[in-house]
Amino acid sequence: MISLKMSKTALICGVTGQDGPYLAQLLLSKGYKVIGTSRDAEASTFSNLYKLGLKSQVTLTSMSLNDFRSVLQVITKYEPVEIYNLSGQSSVALSFSQPVETMESISAGVLNLLEAVRFTNKKIRVYNAGSGEAFGDTGEEPANEETAFRPRSPYAVAKAASFWQVENYREAYDLFACTGLLFNHESPLRPQRFVTQKIINGAKEIAAGNLKYIVLGNLDIMRDWGWAPEYVEAMWLMLQTQAANDYVIATGASYSLEKFVEKSFELYGLDWKKYVQVDKSFFRPLDINISKADPSKAKAQLSWQAKTTLDQVISGMAAGAY
């Protein structure tokens, strides 16, 4: 592991989402100066930074990864030693109705970032947020870093493309660039449009008498759900190694969405079958039936391992435990 010096500058591209504020919190605790970007820093509310009490501690600036000049200006101005790319359209479901925006914000954005680093300072270490979605349907064989990609959504296609761009720049131009192939990870900062928040908030509202039922899609899908604050530590660890590499980040345990629903409603003493309706119009055009992960490389090389169980993820989200 390399030694950490105080007052290193880190740039978080896309600091307004779920992971950005947790990563900013971690980096600030390690003595970094943190620069956070959004497309329009003057118009953004930065509500998640406020929730963690970090708004005043992060330097905020406007930057669009789709605009190469914008990226170049920010990197030149702030001279970061580490860049964490968490930006881009983040919803799998939304990617089916916005495939062009999804591809441009993820794939073209990563390309602009890598090019800007190549032009300005090749010593900058770059983390790119990949996704376990790129593996597609794994079946019963957990995906590891050598598993072939079989993306089943525009979002997954874009993430797969960004992964290969990072690997290409790492090998062709000797950049310290790596991708974290993160499987599902949740927290109270997860946007309301995501199904996990819909389930937990629905159960809470039903228990309070404010809602009669919720409508969901395919309950048979299986996912590996982790705790977002733990996953940002893995991002940081990837940039502290001697040589850049890619890692699967996950718990190693997968559950059906039905099990997630069951456990969420149990928190409020409710039988989920009385309050959940399934509507096939909520099904995606293509979906992953089973998603399983093998995070053993991260454990062996980064000494990172997920500690939070599914029950703890659900209770933490329900309690709003930031």
Position 1 scores a pLDDT of 41
Among 70, 84, 95, 133, the one annotated catalytic: 133
Residue 72 lies in a domain: yes
Residue 214 lies in a domain: no
Residue 199 lies in a domain: no
* CA 265 – CA 263 distance, rounded (Å): 6
Domain count, the chain: 1
CB-based burial of residue 1 (10 Å sphere; 0-12 exposed, 13-18 middle, 19+ buried)? Answer: exposed
Residue 76 lies in a domain: yes
Tens of pLDDT, residues 187-212 = 999 988 899 999 999 999 999 999 99
Tens of pLDDT, residues 116-140 = 999 999 999 999 999 999 999 999 9
Residue 293 lies in a domain: yes
Residue 113 lies in a domain: yes
DSSP assignment of 40-84: -TTT---HHHHHTT-GGGSEEEE--TT-HHHHHHHHHHH--SEEE
Tens of pLDDT, residues 70-99 = 999 999 999 999 999 999 888 898 999 999
Residues of the chain with pLDDT under 70: 1-6
Position 6 scores a pLDDT of 54
To the query of whether residue 155 is one of the catalytic residues in this protein, the response is yes
Among 70, 87, 131, 264, the one annotated catalytic: 131
CATH for 103: 3.40.50.720
To the query of whether residue 187 is one of the catalytic residues in this protein, the response is no
Longest dimension (CA), the chain: 59
Among 155, 231, 247, 275, the one annotated catalytic: 155
Residue 193 lies in a domain: no
DSSP 3-state assignment of 116?
A: helix
To the query of whether residue 268 is one of the catalytic residues in this protein, the response is no
Asked if residue 298 lies in contact with residue 238, where contact means CB atoms within 8 angstroms, the answer is no
DSSP 3-state assignment of 127?
A: strand
Range of the domain at 84: 9-187+225-253+289-308
Residue 276 lies in a domain: no
